[in-house]
């Protein structure tokens, strides 16, 4: 435990120590017509052999207005997520996804125990009571990730020079986007763009709750 703590501290110090030479990667994501896409998970995986530090941060997906908020989360493998219920009604969260199967029986308030997501992959959450409730959790091994904002832009701080493989994922995309290599040199900013073809929006999804 002591050793683990020391290693984490050293890793944190190394991270702080290198931020001066860090490079910011900006990624612009749009659909095939060029419209900016929000809620895209962008991940930069360090090249083989490069260290993959753990920066585990607890995350939260609340339930409010019979919705999961946020709709899309991205966390590093091993992180935990808590699920506070801020509705008056009870929810019953479940996932059948291979990366994390669980079943959080009917509850209200903060009664739900946090869940640890220890396998990389895509986890789709639903509620047994409210069929319209859905959330996506992308669990990734790399600590370098971000979600695109309303302008379709994700910014990832990378710890200095090195090569990375950058990928983009949206819950409504068709197939998989190609992985793009990027090399960070010194503190020069780098930029990439992705176009992700989207499935037509299902009639179901257009329902206003
Ligand atoms: Cu519910």
Question: Which tens digit of pLDDT belongs to each residue from 5-19?
Answer: 555 544 444 444 444
How does pLDDT run across 154-194, given as a tens digit for each residue? 999 998 789 999 999 999 999 888 899 999 988 888 999 99
Show the domains of the chain with their CATH numbers.
Answer: 22-52+143-200 (2.60.40.1120), 59-139 (2.60.40.420)
Q: How far is the centre of ligand 1, averaged over its atoms, from the C-alpha of 24 (Å)?
A: 39
Contact at 8 Å (CB) between 182 and 84? Answer: no
Task: Report how far ligand 1's centroid is from the alpha carbon of 9 (Å).
Answer: 40
CA of 124 to the centre of ligand 1 (A): 14
In this predicted structure, what is the pLDDT of residue 203? 55
User: Which residues of the chain carry a pLDDT beneath 50?
Assistant: 1-2, 9-20, 206-209
Q: CA distances (Å), 119 to each of 5, 90, 97, 99, 200, in order?
A: 22, 28, 11, 5, 30
DSSP 177: P
């Amino acid at each position: 435990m002591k050793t683990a703590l020391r290693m984490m501290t050293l890793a944190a110090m190394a991270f702080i120590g290198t931020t001066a030479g860090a490079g910011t990667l900006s990624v612009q994501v749009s659909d095939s017509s060029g419209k900016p896409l929000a809620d895209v998970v962008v991940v930069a995986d360090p090249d083989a052999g490069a260290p993959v530090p753990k920066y585990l941060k607890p995350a939260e997906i609340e339930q409010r207005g019979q919705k999961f908020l946020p709709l899309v989360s991205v966390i590093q493998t091993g992180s935990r997520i808590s699920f506070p219920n801020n509705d008056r009604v009870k929810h019953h969260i479940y996932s059948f996804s291979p990366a994390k199967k669980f079943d959080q029986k009917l509850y209200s308030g903060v009664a739900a125990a946090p869940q640890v997501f220890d396998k990389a992959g895509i986890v789709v959450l639903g509620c047994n009571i409210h069929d319209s409730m859905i959330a996506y959790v992308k669990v990734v091994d790399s600590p370098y990730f971000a979600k695109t904002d309303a302008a379709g832009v994700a910014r990832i701080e990378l710890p200095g020079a090195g090569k990375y493989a950058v990928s983009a994922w949206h819950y409504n995309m068709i197939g998989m986007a190609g992985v793009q290599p990027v090399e960070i040199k010194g503190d020069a900013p780098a930029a990439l763009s992705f176009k992700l073809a989207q499935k037509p929006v299902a009639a179901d999804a257009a329902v206003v709750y």
